[in-house]
Amino acid sequence: MEWSKNPTEPLRVNGVALEYSCHGPAPSQTPTIVLLHEGLGCVALWRDFPARLAERTGLGVLTYSRQGYGKSDPIPLPRPLDYQSREALEVIPLVLDAAGIERAILFGHSDGATMAAIYAGSTEDRRVRGLILEAPHFFTEPGGLASIAAARDAYESGDLKAKMAKYHRDPDGAFKGWNDAWLSPGFKAWNVAEVIDYIRVPILAIQGRRDQYGTMAQIEEIENRAYCPVDTLLLDCQHAPHQECPEQVLTEAAEFCARLIRIEAAQVITA
């Protein structure tokens, strides 16, 4: 793997080519923040946030487009309703392997936050030292489903498809893989909150008070169920705090990462 902002070759996981980009120090030098994008995201849609995060924290930052997104290989449709769990358990560890990451902080947004929590709560991967969960969802909510239905209307009759085509090799696959799963009748009962019970690393949970896809109930689920340290950052914004309130997110994320490093250093000295 080439640790570069603009690598010459994709990251290959199980024969699938994944678009990726790296910022800051390589994994051999510092812990690495792994950015996991939202349901319609990709490398490019993080914009300048990865570079700013690397600069603010002094850590390496890896972001990649999941299969079906950005410039990564397309994915067969329809997606299974447990696609978030499959992505978490089957792909995240292989990405960490391919990148040579030994100490990771998983920073997920929306679907990506859910995947980060699923992975940390379902495995004993000691490489994962902390989680930053931005606008996570652990169960469906009527308001969120209504917003997803509105997104379908915007895609079918508005300009959303044209906007997505600028960033995704297969905009139909990217959109329908996410939207069709969430709007499937069987998805209403989806609930993965149990994974929170088994997370054993510190969590920073970030939520916009006006998030159109999820309410504070998602954050309260973390606070009520977690047996690990939990910090929360509540902001006056909608679904993308890192875009709408970047300074607050960068500051809090940097402080969280610094605490993790101090804790780890203290444990090494004590040992």
Question: Which of 267, 242, 208, 236 is closest to 33 using CA atoms?
Answer: 242
Contact predicate 27/99, CB 8 Å? yes
pLDDT tens for the 271 residues of the chain, in order: 899 999 999 999 999 999 999 999 999 999 999 999 999 999 999 999 999 999 999 999 999 999 999 999 999 999 999 999 999 999 999 999 999 999 999 999 999 999 999 999 999 999 999 999 999 999 999 999 999 999 999 999 999 999 999 999 999 999 999 999 999 999 999 999 999 999 999 999 999 999 999 999 999 999 999 999 999 999 999 999 999 999 999 999 999 999 999 988 876 554 4
Contact predicate 67/73, CB 8 Å? yes
Q: Is 76 strand, coil or helix? A: coil
pLDDT recorded at residue 269:
54
User: Please, what are the domains in the chain?
Assistant: 11-270 (3.40.50.1820)
Which element (helix H / strand E) includes 233? strand 230-235
Contact predicate 115/82, CB 8 Å? no
156: left (phi over 0), alpha (psi -120 to 50) or beta: alpha
